[in-house]
Chains A and B, each alone.
Chain A
Amino acid sequence: GAVVSQHPSWVICKSGTSVKIECRSLDFQATTMFWYRQFPKQSLMLMATSNEGSKATYEQGVEKDKFLINHASLTLSTLTVTSAHPEDSSFYICSASEDRVNYGYTFGSGTRLTVV
């Protein structure tokens, strides 16, 4: 079945540094990738939608200059948290759409970001 590989699974970084999270679709082409953020004991909130070769669409309240999304190929999308602060500590998870799968959505395993 469709697999989305997300790395790293966890990362600890210092305030002010940037962190890049990668999501790769391993056996299908992901035209669209969705990025979600989940705070402890809360639900998944959509941050942005990225389409291969074009600019990402950000949800209201999500700073596009802080959360840089690049979807340069059909198999790779990256989310870079720039100048990270402790309030950016969260669980980030990507999801890709693949038409051949019954329900069409495959999720990465998530990245636990802790900013100290």
Chain B
Amino acid sequence: SQQGEEDPQALSIQEGENATMNCSYKTSINNLQWYRQNSGRGLVHLILIRSNEREKHSGRLRVTLDTSKKSSSLLITASRAADTASYFCATDMKYSGNTPLVFGKGTRLSVIA
């Protein structure tokens, strides 16, 4: 079953603008991960944030986690046309190697050149 929701479901921005996507989840987690998926392709792991972390950066990506609100956000700064893709958050409730990631519904991002 899906853990939660992402919003917006779809987002269209101009190149150079920032894109913010939000994710909410329902249960306690060990960590939360963000993935990118280009149309019809596999998943690309972007970033992982652990439950005891509040913010993490990786290049143009900034992820925040608020465990009290059970929510996370992904910010992509200075967006490029190549960032056009679907973005999913995935929660890892109890990492033991035997528990699956549970994915949100995703946000379809379109960056217009």
Contacts and interface: CB of A to CB of B under 8 A. Distances in A.
Interface size grouping (class) on chain A: 20 to 34
Interface in A80-116: 91, 93, 95, 97-99, 102-105, 107-110, 112
Contacts of B40: 91, 112
B59 interface: no
Interface string A4-38: 00100000000000000000000000011010100
A43 B2 contact: yes
Contacts, number: 61
A36 B103 CA distance: 10
B69 interface: no
Interface size grouping (class) on chain B: 20 to 34
Given A43-B88, A103-B48, A104-B95, A49 B100 contact: yes
A105 B103 CA distance: 13
A93 to B, nearest CB: 6
A56 to B, nearest CB: 12
A99 B96 CA distance: 9
A95 B101 CA distance: 9
A99 B106 CA distance: 26
Interface string B69-102: 0000000000000000000100010010110111
Interface of B: 1-2, 31, 33, 40-43, 45, 48, 88, 92, 95, 97-98, 100-106, 108
